[in-house]
Amino acid sequence: MMPRNLSGPLAGRSRISGKTPFLILIVLTVILASGCRRTPEPVRETRFMMGTLVEILVYAQGEDAANAVSRAFSRMAEIEKATSCRIPGNDVESVREGEGALFSGDAARILQTAISAAVASSGSFDPTLGELVDLWGIGTDRPRVPGEVEIRDALGRSGYQKIPESGRFPPGEKLWLDLGGVAKGFAVDEAVKVLKDSGVGAGIVDAGGDLRTFGVKPGSSPWKVGVQDPDQSRELAGILEAGEISIATSGDYQRYFEVEGVRYHHILDPATGRPARSGLKSATVLAPDCALADALATAAFVLGPERGLDLLEKRDGVEGILISEDGIYHTTSGIGTRFPFRKKQP
């Protein structure tokens, strides 16, 4: 039997421990082991953006491929600039300052996905938690546990129902949006679009574990995507086999700080205003596009194993693997059937 070409992006993550201002980046990238058959060397480039390491790998050669990759990164940077609550001068800032804005283009599309995830999860996903996220400061060099009153006040000013359906935010009304739970996935989708439009046949865009594969990998074996073990950053919980796939993972091990042995991580439960304690360590979601996968992964993480699984099962083309604190894998019906999944041997 011919040895197969094995390659697979790992749904890896950058992790920031708030205890140290220092950034710990753990990048689990593509495993490439060549078999006898010669396949062209992929072009690969990594850049730091959207708070994480983004890797683009394409099976194409030469200057054209390198230019396509460069354009894909530029597109992602453009999206970050237009939608990040940490970058001044965009509509997110205008709305926070109560100056009013009419969302259009990328920001409007991201907001639509965010609203749809908020409605589907009954508000467990909420793109208006900017003030609360800022209070906790997780992933910054000034994380802290806020007081009850601060939390209550920030929650009082949040709520996805306050987002006008038209995307027209009137002046005088302040709302602190944080689209961080969905923007990266959207940027991955757009980067893939740029690569395809540039004539690239196959590749991977991986924004710290929000990733999408496209085309047929040389050697025609399926893409293999590693799902990170939430307990051991360099290990895999399992490997998924798929054709083209959009996948995102949310976990309590990605960004956090610790005080007296308690871990405070970056996914907040709008019901409590505190880091979600739903019994999950990680939520991995597969969806028709990466923006939706990203939003639903965050939502499922907040909802927990039962309600999270329910949310995913209800949506067409959506699958998921939820790993709970007791180490149990809760999977939707398409995992293991539509998407072969090899779980790590204990």
**Which chain residues interact with Mg ion by CB under 5 A?**
181, 294, 297-298
Which CB atom, from 60 or from 319, has the smaller least distance to ligand ADP? 319
Plot region of 85 (φ>0 → left; ψ -120 to 50 → alpha; else → beta):
alpha
**Min CB(58)–ligand ADP separation in Å:** 23
Binding at 268: pick from Mg ion, ligand ADP, none (beta carbon under 5-8 Å per type): ligand ADP
Binding at 254: pick from Mg ion, ligand ADP, none (beta carbon under 5-8 Å per type): ligand ADP
**Min CB(318)–ligand ADP separation in Å:** 15
Q: Dig out the tokens for 177 from the structure.
A: 């949006």
Residue number, nearest CB to Mg ion:
298
Measured distance CA(156)–CA(150) in Å, rounded: 10
**Min CB(197)–ligand ADP separation in Å:** 26
**Min CB(64)–Mg ion separation in Å:** 33
Binding at 331: pick from ligand ADP, Mg ion, none (beta carbon under 5-8 Å per type): none
CA distances from 169 to 81, 92, 112 (A): 19, 10, 14
Asked if 212 and 189 count as a contact pair (C-beta separation under 8 A), the reply is: yes
**Min CB(317)–ligand ADP separation in Å:** 19
Which CB atom, from 91 or from 294, has the smaller least distance to ligand ADP? 294
Binding at 281: pick from Mg ion, ligand ADP, none (beta carbon under 5-8 Å per type): none
Q: How far apart are the first and last CA of the chain?
A: 28
Asked if 100 and 171 count as a contact pair (C-beta separation under 8 A), the reply is: yes
**Min CB(36)–ligand ADP separation in Å:** 38
Query: Parallel, antiparallel, or unpaired for β 236-242 and 223-228?
Result: antiparallel
Binding at 305: pick from Mg ion, ligand ADP, none (beta carbon under 5-8 Å per type): none
Which CB atom, from 252 or from 319, has the smaller least distance to ligand ADP? 252
**Min CB(78)–ligand ADP separation in Å:** 19
**Min CB(184)–ligand ADP separation in Å:** 6
Which CB atom, from 7 or from 189, has the smaller least distance to Mg ion? 189
DSSP 119-166: HHTTTSS-TT-HHHHHHHTTTSS------HHHHHHHHHT--GGGS-TT
Which CB atom, from 133 or from 245, has the smaller least distance to ligand ADP? 133
Measured distance CA(213)–CA(107) in Å, rounded: 24
Contacts of 220 (CB under 8 A, 6+ apart): none
**Min CB(24)–Mg ion separation in Å:** 20
Q: How many helices (H) and strands (E) does the chain have?
A: 8, 22
Q: Give the Cβ contact number of residue 75 at 10 Å.
A: 18
Which CB atom, from 178 or from 319, has the smaller least distance to ligand ADP? 178
Binding at 266: pick from Mg ion, ligand ADP, none (beta carbon under 5-8 Å per type): ligand ADP
Binding at 96: pick from ligand ADP, Mg ion, none (beta carbon under 5-8 Å per type): none
Binding at 247: pick from Mg ion, ligand ADP, none (beta carbon under 5-8 Å per type): none
Binding at 9: pick from ligand ADP, Mg ion, none (beta carbon under 5-8 Å per type): none
Measured distance CA(133)–CA(295) in Å, rounded: 16
Burial class (CB in 10 A: 0-12, 13-18, 19+), 18: buried
- Residues lying near ligand ADP in the complex (CB under 6 A) are found at 125-127, 129, 133, 178, 180-181, 184, 210, 250, 254-255, 266-268, 270, 294, 297-298, 302
Contacts of 252 (CB under 8 A, 6+ apart): 230, 263, 265, 267, 275, 276, 280, 281, 282, 301
Which CB atom, from 69 or from 302, has the smaller least distance to Mg ion? 302
List alpha helices for 214-304, DSSP H: 290-303
Which CB atom, from 133 or from 311, has the smaller least distance to ligand ADP? 133
